[in-house]
Structure 1
Amino acid sequence: MRTLHKGLRPLYAPLLHPKHTVRIRSPLSISCGAPRRSFQTSASYRTIDLAYDLHDNGGKATGAPILILHGLFGSKKNNRSISKALARDLSRPVYAIDLRNHGDSAHDKAHNYIALAEDTEAFLEKHDLRDATLIGHSMGAKTVMTMALRNPDCCANIIPVDNAPVDAALSSDFPNYVEGMRKVENEKVNSQKAADEILEPFAKELPVRQFLLTNLTRPSPSEPLKFRIPVQILAKALDDMADFPFTDPDIRRFNKPALFMRGSRSHYVSDETIPIIGRFFPRFELMDIDAGHWVISENPEAFRRGVVEFLQDKE
């Protein structure tokens, strides 16, 4: 699992740190999105005070903190089980975060990686969290990469899960999910079953629908069900979620350890992205996990082992 394929050395070796290891899959092309919009990588947004759950193994976890950031349409609840396991195995407190416009955190019209990074940096400062490990899946992965490149001193290392520091079109599934959620709200349903039936044409897989429907709440007993996430805001943010705010690794670079974990059945971290990962994050390692894009929920044990091994190596 941790041997560099010799056939890649002429192409990748100049860009890789000696500790980088990768098991190669069949090459997949990067799906490029629309022409880049202008990102203000130093912009300052109104920061959101992020909701969180702290998992500290009953107070026994006292090491350096770990932050775990969910993906688009997710919440801190998605990472409850894995957070408890990591707190136990590593004896480190794990903060499961709700990013802006998700879970119990406040809503705001600005939803891009600079805003998400600034929120999380403010969270680290507010809670006086030093030498943190930042773990993020999908949207959360690009957020922790953005934080590491903006301010390398904000963390000790990062673990981006199934995303890469490139502009690449989101899976066409995500606009479908948004359309389905809009239809659920427009129909003013009163039951999860009714919502699931409306959503099914837009999200064929039951686990995906169950994931999306975790956001469905009833504001009051007399009102129909409604998504707690601001569907309209996130619909408008899909292009920003496909982008990455940094383009020049000669200007921005993170020279601390980074573990990139990718699903072996996902296209989000294709082999073609490896060189640019190596330039932005020269001390990176790459681990394949038998999963699709939803790595943590699809194969939590392999994910847990990979994180524990990586972080124990760094102690």
Structure 2
Amino acid sequence: MSVLRRWFQTGLLCGRAQCRSAAGRGSMCGGAPALARFSSSESPVNLTYDVFDGKGESTPLVFLHGLFGSKSNFHSIAKSLVQRTGRKVLTIDARNHGTSPHHPVLTYEAMASDLKHLLTKLHIEKCVLIGHSMGGKVAMTTALTQPDLVERLVVVDISPAQTTTRTNFRFYINAMQAVTVSSTLPRSTARRMAEDQLRKQVKEHSVRQFLLTNLVETNGQYSWRVNLAAISAHLDDIMSFPSLDTTYDGPTLFLGGASSAYISSEDYPEIQRLFPCADIQYIPDASHWIHADKPLDFISSISSFLQS
């Protein structure tokens, strides 16, 4: 696979040998109340997850999805990686996403705590952590605060930098909150009606289809399975990154889409500071959703990184 590769000077100096291996009818969602920030006294939530069992004994791979996503985003990727590597693969729903519980707090500290709680419950002492976008920031937070838990780290099209100016997430939230769908409609009609309403603020067809994966019918009512109130209230937290002075010295891959602006040269110094053994690669003709645009290249990049 042809990729554009950039190595950090510190990454070259450190060398791989020195890196440690290691709702009712009507509007579907209400407003966003003021919420307290996460503290160490917060109890973690019990995340939902899917397991794809491999026959090998190597460290399992753990996938973390992005904002508005779910564990199913990586199911086909997980199946391919089980076949290619023999490793067990887990895909996880973050709090307020998929079928995981809702909680008013949505910070990276809280989500990292949820992840540690799940891995402890599953008796997984070490894993290869792979996170896309928001999930990439959860993965970075986990690696920086609990490095012994992470054997290798893959951060997909995101950096430890402020990303507010590069996103339209606030528009997406507003559009989703404004959708109204009658409970009397069949699902296919309800989905078309919801898409028509989203189209006013969400111009990209692919983004609308992605957001619509969150439209569910529960007890005869249509609603969004993501917790829009918590996402809206914590959007600044989600778009930023915790201030941390620690480093993660294990093997790290930042995998960006060549057509995406989420990992830019302006981010390199902070990546270098926090992840001194990082390698950055870009997959040609891939947008922010690399795994959907170029799944074979994405799988090849992950496989090569595991063997490096």
Considering the TM-score relative to the shorter chain, is it more than 0.5? Answer: yes
Letter matched to residue 293 of structure 1? H
- Structure 1 or 2: larger strand share? 2
Query: What is the TM-score of this pair, normalised by structure 2?
Result: 0.85
1:294: how far off? 1.1
1:174 alignment partner, one of 165, 169, 189: 169
**Other-structure match for 2:291:** 296
Q: Alpha-carbon deviations, 1:232-260, whole Å to 9, x = none? A: 1111111111111125xxx3001110000
2:305 alignment partner, one of 307, 310, 314: 310
The structure-2 alpha-carbon separation of the partners of 1:13 and 1:172, relative to structure 1 and needing over 3 Å to count, comes to: closer
| Structure 2 counterparts to residues 71-82 of structure 1, below 5 A | 71-82=66-77
**Other-structure match for 2:52:** 55
The structure-2 alpha-carbon separation of the partners of 1:226 and 1:69, relative to structure 1 and needing over 3 Å to count, comes to: same
In 1: Cα distance, 2:104 partner to 2:43 partner: 10
Letter matched to residue 87 of structure 1? V
Contact 1:112 / 1:237 at 8 angstroms: preserved in 2? yes
1:43: how far off? 3.1
**Other-structure match for 1:13:** 9
1:44: how far off? 4.1
Contact 1:75 / 1:99 at 8 angstroms: preserved in 2? yes
Letter matched to residue 53 of structure 2? D
Letter matched to residue 204 of structure 2? E
1:64: how far off? 1.3
Q: Does 1:85 align with 2:80?
A: yes
The structure-2 alpha-carbon separation of the partners of 1:17 and 1:125, relative to structure 1 and needing over 3 Å to count, comes to: farther
1:45 alignment partner, one of 32, 42, 48: 42
Give the match's secondary structure for 2:218.
Answer: coil
Q: Does 1:237 align with 2:256?
A: no
Identity of aligned residues (%): 36
Give ranges in structure 1 of 5+ residues lacking alignment: 6-11, 21-37
In 2: Cα distance, 1:256 partner to 1:209 partner: 37
**Other-structure match for 2:64:** 69
Q: How many residues align?
A: 281
Query: What is the TM-score of this pair, normalised by structure 1?
Result: 0.84
In 1: Cα distance, 2:181 partner to 2:214 partner: 16
Q: Which has the higher contact order (CA 8 A, sep 6+)?
A: 2
In 2: Cα distance, 1:275 partner to 1:207 partner: 32
Q: Does 1:94 align with 2:93?
A: no
In 2: Cα distance, 1:120 partner to 1:264 partner: 29
Q: Does 1:261 align with 2:258?
A: no
RMSD: 2.1
**Other-structure match for 1:198:** 197
Letter matched to residue 205 of structure 2? L
Give the match's secondary structure for 1:156.
Answer: strand
Contact 1:44 / 1:115 at 8 angstroms: preserved in 2? no
In 2: Cα distance, 1:255 partner to 1:16 partner: 13
The structure-2 alpha-carbon separation of the partners of 1:160 and 1:301, relative to structure 1 and needing over 3 Å to count, comes to: same
Letter matched to residue 210 of structure 2? F
1:276: how far off? 1.4
Contact 1:161 / 1:262 at 8 angstroms: preserved in 2? yes
Contact 2:128 / 2:152 at 8 angstroms: preserved in 1? yes
Contact 1:80 / 1:96 at 8 angstroms: preserved in 2? yes
The structure-2 alpha-carbon separation of the partners of 1:125 and 1:194, relative to structure 1 and needing over 3 Å to count, comes to: same
Give the match's secondary structure for 2:158.
Answer: coil
**Other-structure match for 1:32:** none
1:153: how far off? 0.5
In 1: Cα distance, 2:119 partner to 2:126 partner: 10
